[in-house]
């Protein structure tokens, strides 16, 4: 149960950083969703380059979660996808 709370907390922090970098105004729920999607993308990227030693999922961390969320916002901006405000 604690890891789900941790995912939401990291999602919130990385989403807030990403939306402030990209100057986007979205609700807190979409900010958390954005951060979690960014964390999944960042985790996939780090999993490609650095496999975990104990064959478990290893999280991307705040840096790659934020970079993934910025990438999601950039793709949404280029495809003209708007989040509800």
> pLDDT digits over 25-68, tens only?
899 999 989 988 988 888 788 778 776 666 555 555 788 889 99
Q: Give dist(CA 26, CA 84) in Å, integer.
A: 7
From 3, 19, 30, select the one nearest 70 (Cα to Cα): 19
> What's the domain count of the chain?
1
- 38 neighbors 18 (Cβ within 8 angstroms): yes
Q: Are 73 and 22 in contact (CB under 8 A)?
A: yes
Q: What is the span of the domain harbouring residue 42?
A: 2-78
In a domain, 26, yes or no: yes
Euclidean distance between CA atoms 18 and 47, whole angstroms: 21
Per the model's pLDDT, the better-predicted residue between 53 and 11 turns out to be 11
Can you say whether the dihedral through the CA atoms of 22, 45, 58, 7 is positive or negative?
Answer: positive
Residue 58, pLDDT score: 56
């Amino acid at each position: 149960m604690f890891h789900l709370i941790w995912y939401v907390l990291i999602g919130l922090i990385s989403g807030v950083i990403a939306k402030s970098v990209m100057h986007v105004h979205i609700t807190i729920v979409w900010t958390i969703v954005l951060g979690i999607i960014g964390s999944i993308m960042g985790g996939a990227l780090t999993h490609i380059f650095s496999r975990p030693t104990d064959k478990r999922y290893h999280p991307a961390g705040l840096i790659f979660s934020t970079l993934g969320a910025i990438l999601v916002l950039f793709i949404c901006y280029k495809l003209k996808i708007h989040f509800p405000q």
